[in-house]
Amino acid sequence: MSAMPPTHPDSGRALCLSTAAFTVCFAVWTIFSIIGIQIKQQLALTETQFGLLVGIPILSGSLVRVALGVATDRIGGRAVYTLTMLAAAAATWLLGWADSYPQMLLAALGVGLAGGSFAVGVAYVSRFYAADRQGTALGIFGVGNVGAAVTKFAAPFVMLAWGWQATAQIWAAALALTAILFWVFSRDDPLTAARRQGSLPLRSLRAEFAPLKSLQVWRFAAYYFFSFGAFVALALWLPHYLIGVYGFDIRTAGMVGAAYSIPASVFRAYGGHLSDRIGARRVMYATFAVSLAATAILTLLPGLTVAGFLVTIFTLGFFMSLGKAAVYKHIPSYYPGNVGAVGGLVGMIGGLGGFALPLLFGWLKDQTGLWSSCFAVLFLLVAACLLWMHASIRRLQPALQTA
């Protein structure tokens, strides 16, 4: 499936640097989950306006993923990753100077570039590993989702000490420094190196995008809309939910949000390993079955105690983390020559979930007054994914071994 050696000498370096960079990118990408709360108070925003502000970086970071993934396939992850981080850092720095809602929305578009880095990292890292190790490698890379926990834990303290503007600029400086270090210490992936030596021709754009016509790709994207999109949505919405439902203060809500994000991110590596070992299909079935039960509980029992709520939401986050890794196990296996385009599309759809769902959560809260309405949406979403997956597997067996 791959022209590269089973184990490339720079595979460990590529994985470590990419995971560290993605962690910082994800911390920047979710910064509005914390500073947005102070901005909401400062500008007297409605729930819907708050949801839009939180979601705009998720939207832009999702929409650029296909373009960034294809660019990575064509010119290499090292250059694209570095430039993406520098651009996102510049936008985040300028956010600190915004003083109106439209200006903040404009800056948020640029902040979203940090989220687009995921498509770059997937294409870059996968080229260093053989097929039987890509699930584990990409699962480890996906642990960078823990950046959301970094923001939720640290940003409330920085914001309350120096204000949301200083928080944005500190996060921007960290991302710019990360970009420089990544460029200095990283190496070109094997495919890019071969192209620069003239031993491998550059493919046409039509060939890059050809797999996107496959319904299978869009099915994988639907899985990721839930497993990743809903994770991002909950990571962004949870502090607000805890404040509104249980009366937590911003520090406590941020710390609980961080505690939610950490295991839901770290166990993505285990999900990748599990997918390599027992197959992504089984992991996806477990993810959807448990998620269906958890979202039903959170929808039908809105009066859960704090302990009951936290146990349920943490269980949901754990299985989402397994599902995120299982989805991306498929991509380099089925589409080894188009990881950038296919991974970018799947990541884009997942990211759109992270944009649309918080906005929908806010709108439903405004319209119904029910905090539990967000979990009713997730219940319907995971039920649809489970039914589509099961129907597809029954129709395509025995041709598919892992679907």
Whether the pLDDT of residue 312 is over 80: the answer is yes
Give me the pLDDT at residue 264, please: 66
Q: In a 10 Å sphere around its CB, with 0-12 CB exposed, 13-18 middle and 19+ buried, how is residue 98 labelled?
A: middle
- For the chain, give the percent of residues with pLDDT over 90: 39
Most confident of 303-312, 333-342, 379-388: 379-388
So what's the pLDDT on residue 15? 93
Distances (CA, A) of 43 to 38, 40, 53, 205: 9, 5, 12, 45
Q: How distant is the alpha carbon of residue 241 from its chain centre? A: 20
DSSP-derived letter for residue 337 is: T
Taking only the tens place, the pLDDT of each residue in 119-157 is: 899 889 988 887 777 788 888 898 887 888 788 888 989
Please say whether the beta carbons of 318 and 227 come within 8 A. Answer: no
List domains and CATH numbers for the chain: 11-189+212-394 (1.20.1250.20)
Report the pLDDT value the prediction gives residue 199, as an integer from 0 to 100. Answer: 63
Q: Which of 178, 193, 58 is nearest to 118 (CA)?
A: 58
The answer to whether residues 100 and 386 touch, using CB atoms and an 8 Å cutoff, is no
Residue pair 111/88 in contact (Cβ under 8 Å)? The answer is yes
pLDDT band of residue 400 (cuts 50, 70, 90) is: very low
pLDDT in tens, 76-124: 889 999 999 999 999 999 998 888 899 999 999 999 999 999 889 988 9
C-alpha 154/C-alpha 239 separation (Å) is 13
Give the pLDDT confidence of 183-216 residue by residue, as tens digits.
999 988 887 877 777 666 666 667 777 778 888 8
Query: Do the Cβ atoms of 393 and 400 come closer than 8 Å?
Result: yes
- Most confidently modeled range among 64-78, 142-156, 159-173: 159-173
User: Residue type at 186?
Assistant: S
Compute the distance between CA of residue 123 and CA of residue 8 in angstroms, rounded to an integer: 15
Chain centroid to CA 227 = 9
Q: What's the whole-number average pLDDT of the chain?
A: 86
H or E element that contains 229: none
Residue-level pLDDT at 2: 39
Whole-number CA gyration radius for the chain? 20
pTM of the complete model: 0.77
Which one, of 213, 221, 175, 260, lies nearest residue 351 by Cα? Answer: 221
* Predicted local confidence at residue 3, as pLDDT: 43
DSSP line for 98-128: --SHHHHHHHHHHHTHHHHHHHHHHHHHHTT
Whether residue 88 contacts residue 197, with contact meaning beta carbons closer than 8 Å, is answered with no
pLDDT in tens, 212-241: 888 888 999 999 999 988 987 887 788 889
Distance CA 350, CA 346 (A): 6
